[in-house]
Amino acid sequence: MFMQLLLTPTIGEEGCSSKAEYCWNCISEVENYTSTTTYKNNLNNLLTSISSGTQNSYGFYNLSLGENSNKVNVIAMCRGEVTAVDCRTCLNDTSYRLLERCPNRKEAIIWDERCMVRYSNNSIFYKRTDAPLKAFSSPNAAADPEQFKLVLKPLLDDLKIEAASGNSSDKCPFGNNTIPNAEGIFALVQCTSDLNVGECNGCLDHAILHIPDCCGGKQGGRFLKPSCNLRFESGPFYNEPKGNSTQGSDETGYGFYNSSLGENSNKVNGIALCRGDIEMNIRHKCINESSRRLLENCPNRMEPIIWEELCMVRYSNTPIFSVMKDEPIVKAPSTNKAWDPNKFMLVLKPMLDGLTSKASSGDSQRKFSTENGTVPGYETIYALTQCTPDISKQGCRDCLQRATLILPECCNGVQGARILRPSCSLRYEVYPFYNYTADSPAASPPLKGIYGSL
Q: Which amino acid, 73?
A: N
Q: How confident is the model at residue 169 (pLDDT cuts 50, 70, 90)?
A: low
Q: What is the pLDDT of residue 97?
A: 93
Give me the CATH topology for the region 330-453.
Killer Toxin P4; Chain A (3.30.430)
Q: What is the pLDDT of residues 339-363, one digit of tens each?
A: 999 999 999 999 999 999 999 988 8
Inform me whether the pLDDT recorded for 40 exceeds 50. Answer: yes
Distances in Å between the alpha carbon of 429 and those of 44, 86, 308, 349, 453? 64, 48, 17, 13, 27
Same fold, 3-134 and 330-453: yes
For residues 125-131, average pLDDT: 94
Gap between the Cα atoms of 306 and 314, Å rounded: 6
Gap between the Cα atoms of 315 and 55, Å rounded: 26
Inform me whether the pLDDT recorded for 3 exceeds 60. Answer: no
Pick the CATH number of 3-134 from 3.30.430.20, 3.90.320.10, 3.40.50.720, 3.90.1150.10: 3.30.430.20
Q: What is the pLDDT of residues 370-382, one digit of tens each?
A: 999 999 988 899 9
Q: What is the pLDDT of residues 385-431, one digit of tens each?
A: 999 998 888 889 999 999 999 999 999 989 999 999 999 999 999 98
Gap between the Cα atoms of 84 and 33, Å rounded: 32
**Of residues 348 and 85, which shows the higher confidence score?**
348
Please compute, for residue 135, the number of CA atoms within 13 A of its CA located in the half-sphere on the CB side: 21
Least confident of 113-117, 242-246, 339-343: 242-246
Query: Could you state, in order of their start, the residue ranges of all structural domains in the chain?
Result: 3-134, 330-453
Q: What is the pLDDT of residue 437?
A: 37
Inform me whether the pLDDT recorded for 245 exceeds 90. Answer: no
Q: How confident is the model at residue 305 (pLDDT cuts 50, 70, 90)?
A: very high
pTM of the model: 0.54
Q: What is the pLDDT of residue 435?
A: 74
